[in-house]
Amino acid sequence: RPAPARSAPGAAVPGMTMTALPAVPRLVNPNAELLETTSTFIFDCDGVIWRGDAVIPGVPEVLKTLRGMGKRMFFVTNNSTKSRAGYLKKFTGLGLDVEAEEIFSSSFAAAAYLKQIKFKKTGKKVYIIGEVGIQEELDLIGVPWIGGENDKDKAPDMGTGGRVEHDHDVGAVVVGFDRYFNYFKIQNAQLCINENPNCLFIATNLDAVTHLTSAQEWAGNGSMVGAIKGCTGQEPILVGKPSPLMIDYIVETYHVERESICMVGDRLDTDVMFGKSNGLSTVLTLSGVTTEAKLQSEENHIRPDFFVDTINDFVKQ
């Protein structure tokens, strides 16, 4: 007797009505819908505050207005190429009045995680795939590291009998966005993870694309993490968005109630997911990588509370 036919996953079942997802509402009354219930804003940076090296028009005035209302704000970015100090210089250079302690980069998150697990006490080193941001943050907590920018021009000997000699004292590999990613770094990382006992594999973020310049989207750190996943078979420890590490740090350090925090970002799978999974209200801005069509599509199940064209809509009359 033949087995009954099964519907493909997600397929409509005869006699069953599929319920359409409700449309995400546009923010039209910022005072009543957002500002009255929000004491703290957490802003993503790329695609929300700036695109590449250009500030989004109107943003400096919006931030000044929100501060004038007594709103607290933090700036959380998955970009690990700069440290907190490096990002402060970028904010200042763009005419944005921001304090260093308001900035949370994924390079800082990687260092905070290593500090949390008391990695320094192991006496081990970190192998860095990434740039100066991770290096500077590890220096600040006294964790020794190798790799990073020092390996940007290295190439492995792949002739007969060629090999890469890796450091057996590496206890963690941190993978962040790296404009000088190369095969030497891949081979070194996989040797550390595959051959050094209990070596940690840490990813600053899994972003598919990034705003390296304002002209176009560029392959993000997800491509670099994917290369290391592919040759180790290991899943990384994620410290950037949507991991809860940074929001937990903000809530515990600054004694902020989650119910009064709004996460504002341009990505559904990192920013909005970060907010929703951590009990925050969420606003998606269309000034970055996400289009309104993608936001409202039936395929998208990550739904923010509201969407705006840019954060200028927060203070419109």
Question: What pLDDT score does 193 carry?
Answer: 98
Residues 6+ apart with CB under 8 A from 53: 213, 214
Instruction: Please count the other Cβ atoms lying within 10 Å of the Cβ belonging to residue 222.
Output: 18
H-assigned helices in the chain: 30-33, 59-68, 84-93, 106-116, 132-140, 183-195, 221-232, 245-254, 273-277, 292-296
Residue 46 bears catalytic tag: yes
List the strands of the sheet with 237-238, edge to edge: 145-147, 125-129, 170-175, 200-203, 237-238
Which is it for the CA torsion 254, 259, 264, 269, positive or negative? positive
Question: What pLDDT score does 6 carry?
Answer: 41
* Tokens read off for 101: 């302690």
Q: Are 95 and 140 in contact (CB under 8 A)?
A: no
Question: What pLDDT score does 317 carry?
Answer: 58
Question: What pLDDT score does 217 carry?
Answer: 84
Residue 151 DSSP one-character state:
G
Distance CA 265, CA 99 (A): 20
List the strands of the sheet with 281-285, edge to edge: 103-105, 72-77, 40-43, 261-265, 281-285, 306-308
H-assigned helices in 94-220: 106-116, 132-140, 183-195
The burial class, CB within 10 Å (0-12 / 13-18 / 19+), for 143 is: buried
pLDDT in tens, 3-15: 444 444 444 445 5
Question: What pLDDT score does 248 carry?
Answer: 92
* Tokens read off for 152: 């940007």
Residues 6+ apart with CB under 8 A from 213: 52, 53
Q: Are 304 and 283 in contact (CB under 8 A)?
A: yes
Distance CA 176, CA 206 (A): 9
Q: What is the DSSP string of 6-18?
A: -PPTTPPPTT-PP
Report pTM.
0.84
pLDDT < 70 positions in the chain: 1-19, 317
